[in-house]
Structure 1
Amino acid sequence: MPHTGSVNPTLDDDLRYEAVSSRDARFDGTFFFAVATTGIYCRPSCPAVTPKRHNVRFYPSAAAAQGAGFRACRRCRPDAVPGSAEWNLRADLVGRAMRLIGDGVVDREGVQGLAHRLGYSTRHLHRQLTEELGAGPAALARAQRAHTARILLQTTDLPVTETAFAAGFASVRQFNDTMREIYAQTPSALRARGTPRQEGPPGGVPLRLAHRGPYAAREVFSFLARRAIPGIEEVTGAPGARTYRRTLRLPYGTGIAEVQEPHRTARGWLACRLHLTDLRDLAAAVQRVRRLFDLDADPDAVAERLGADPALRPLVAARPGLRSPGAADADELAVRAVLGQQVTVAAATRLGARLVAAYGTPLAVPDGALTHLFPEPAALADAEFPGVPEARRRTLRTVAAALADGTVRLDPGADRDDTGRRLLALRGVGPWTAGYVRMRALGDPDVFLPDDAGARRALTALGTGPGADDAWRPWRSYALHHLWNKDS
Structure 2
Amino acid sequence: MTMVVVMDDEQRYRAVHSRDSRFDGVFYTAVRTTGIYCRPSCPAVTPRRENVCFYRTAAAAQESGFRACKRCRPDTVPGSPEWNVRADVVGRAIRLIHDGAVDRGGVGAVADALGYSERQLNRLLSAEVGAGPLALARTERAHTARVLVETTDMPMADAAFASGFASVRQFNETMRSVFDRSPSQMRAAAGRRGSVPAPPGAVALRLPYRGRIDLTGMLSFLGDRAVPGVEEYKGGVYRRTLRLPNGPAVVELSGVEGHVLCRLWLSEPRDLASAVRRCRSLLDLDADPQAVAEVLGQDPVLGPVLRQRPGVRAPGHVDPAELAVRAVLGQQVSVRAARTLAGRLVSRFGKPLAVPDGGLTHTFPSPGALAAADPAELSVPVARGRALINVADAIASGQVDLGPGCDRDEAERRLVELPGIGPWTAGYVRMRGLGDPDVFLSTDLGVRQALERAGLTATPAAAAREAKEWSPWRSYATHLLWASLDTTTAPRGIE
TM-score, scaled to structure 2: 0.94
Question: Which of the residues 228, 251, 274 maps onto 1:230?
Answer: 228
Task: Determine if the alignment matches structure 1 residue 401 to structure 2 residue 393.
Answer: yes
**Selected match of 1:430 from 411, 422, 427:** 422
> Which digits, 9 at most, give the CA deviation of each residue in 1:306-334, with x for residues without a partner?
12323222122221111111111111110
Q: Of the candidates 275, 279, 297, which is equivalent to residue 265 of structure 2?
A: 275
Deviations 1:116-153 (A, max 9, x none): 01110111111111111110010000001001001100
Q: Aligned partners of 1:222, 1:451: CA distance in 2, in Å? A: 24
Aligned 8 A contact 2:151 2:196 in 1: no
Mapped partners of 1:68, 1:171: distance in 2? 24
My pick for the range that moved more, 379-388 or 44-53, is 379-388
Matches within 5 A, 1:1-20: 7-9=4-6, 11-20=7-16
Contact kept, 8 Å, 1:324 with 1:481, in 2: the verdict is yes
Q: CA deviation at 1:412?
A: 0.5
Gaps of 5+ in 2: 488-495
Q: Secondary structure at the match of 1:256?
A: strand
**CA distance in structure 1 between the aligned counterparts of 2:196 and 2:183, rounded to whole angstroms:** 22
* Structure 1 unmatched runs, 5+: none
Q: Partner letter of residue 272 of structure 1?
A: C
**Aligned residue runs from structure 1 range 23-422, under 5 A:** 23-195=19-191, 196-199=194-197, 201-237=199-235, 242-262=236-256, 266-267=257-258, 269-383=259-373, 384-422=376-414
Q: Measure the CA separation in 2 of the matches of 1:78 and 1:122.
A: 29
Aligned length: 475
Report the 3-state secondary structure (helix = DSSP H, G, I; strand = E; otherwise coil) of the residue aligned with 1:141: helix
Counterpart-to-counterpart distance in 1, 2:345 and 2:31: 56
* Other-structure match for 1:481: 479
Moved more, 420-429 or 305-314: 305-314
Report the CA distance shift for 1:174/1:199 in structure 2 as closer, same or farther (over 3 A): closer
**Is the Cα contact below 8 Å between 1:311 and 1:464 reproduced in 2?**
no
Q: Which letter does structure 2 place at the counterpart of 1:486?
A: S
The one-letter code matched in structure 2 to 1:95 is G
1:261 is displaced (CA, Å) by 3.3
Secondary structure of 1:248's counterpart equals: strand
Q: Please report how far the alpha carbon of residue 409 of structure 1 lies from its aligned counterpart in structure 2 after TM superposition.
A: 1.0
SS at match of 1:485: helix
Q: Is the Cα–Cα contact under 8 Å of residues 430 and 436 in structure 2 kept in the other structure?
A: yes
Equivalent pair of 1:199/1:271 in contact (CA under 8 Å)? no
Give, in whole Å, the separation in 2 of the partners of 1:341 and 1:400. 16
- The separation in 2 between residues aligned to 1:232 and 1:197, in whole angstroms, is 29
Is the contact made by 1:6 and 1:84 (CA closer than 8 Å) also made in structure 2?
Answer: no
2:450: which partner in 1? 458
Quote the Cα distance in structure 2 between the aligned partners of 1:189 and 1:99: 31
Q: Which whole-Å CA distance do the structure 1 matches of 2:434 and 2:372 have between them?
A: 25
DSSP 3-state at the match of 2:149: helix
- C-alpha displacement at 1:179, in angstroms? 0.7
Q: Is the 8 A contact 2:196 2:206 kept in 1?
A: no
Partners of 1:425 and 1:48 lie apart in 2 by 55
